[in-house]
Amino acid sequence: MKEKDEILALLIPLVEDLVSGKLELIKETGRSGPYTVEELKEQLDDYGGTLTASPEIDYKNLDLYEIDDEPEWVMEYELWVDGEKSDLTLTCTVRLTDQEKSIAIDSIHVL
């Protein structure tokens, strides 16, 4: 599925930036959704542990929900903490059109 590859091309750098703590960059590039840098930091800190990189194969497990009549998907992905898959879930809206390919965080929450 072409869309899934495009979505992964947006998701993987976002997760890498979260793991690296590049919250300012996420905000500057419009990927933080409604959140400030402080709010993103708080959501991650509240969970505890340290975000760690996801094994590449794990990205095959993301849940995608296509939004009717829109070139948009809602995506849920379980983040890895301290080297293990966690129930800390990153929910994003992804928009794919010829003009725009974007991802924005909707929430980071425990599922």
Q: How far apart are CA 49 and CA 76, in angstroms?
A: 20
pLDDT > 80? residue 1: no
pLDDT of residue 76: 95
| Residue boundaries of the structural domains of the chain | 2-110
CB 86 within 8 A of CB 50: no
pLDDT of residue 61: 79
pLDDT by residue (tens digit) across 10-19? 999 999 999 9
pLDDT by residue (tens digit) across 32-86? 999 999 999 999 999 999 999 999 999 987 889 999 998 999 999 999 999 999 9
pLDDT of residue 91: 96
Indicate the average pLDDT of the chain: 94
Helix H segments across the chain? 2-19, 23-28, 37-47
